[in-house]
Structure 1
């Protein structure tokens, strides 16, 4: 199974959108000190997930939501 996910950092007040095969391992990596967007803080938490049968489906959903470019739309998705 593959996951589409949205993370939230309270410290930066930002969302991160991605996809993975191992959700908990991926969250652990986001919360480590590394180069990249999520490496600057370590308070990322999972606020939304969807499950897919294939990597391509999860990636397509990631691209779809990223193309919204709307914080309001992301919040609506999380809160529904």
Structure 2
């Protein structure tokens, strides 16, 4: 089964969230329904990017790379280059 890297964007501010899942739509529902944690503070979220991987470790490595940027501008630039 495939793994997906996904990027969520908050509909109430300019926050991004990066994660991996085998089912990004179901994961979005989770992020929009939880009561605690980072994603609960900035919901509702929408999926703005997905990338499919065959191997979980590859998805995790890409997730780690994006999360290491810690810079909203870097993620925005990535999204512009990968439309």
Assess same fold via TM > 0.5: yes
TM-score w.r.t. the length of structure 1 is: 0.90
Is residue 2:71 matched to residue 1:70?
A: yes
Distance in 1 of aligned mates of 2:31 and 2:52 = 19
Q: Which runs of 4+ in 1 moved over 4 A?
A: none
Root-mean-square deviation (CA, aligned residues, Å) is 1.2
Identify unmatched segments of 5+ residues in structure 2. Answer: none
Q: Does 1:50 align with 2:32?
A: no
> Which residue is equivalent to 1:17?
18
The alignment partner of 1:26 has SS state of helix
Unaligned runs of 5+ in 1: none
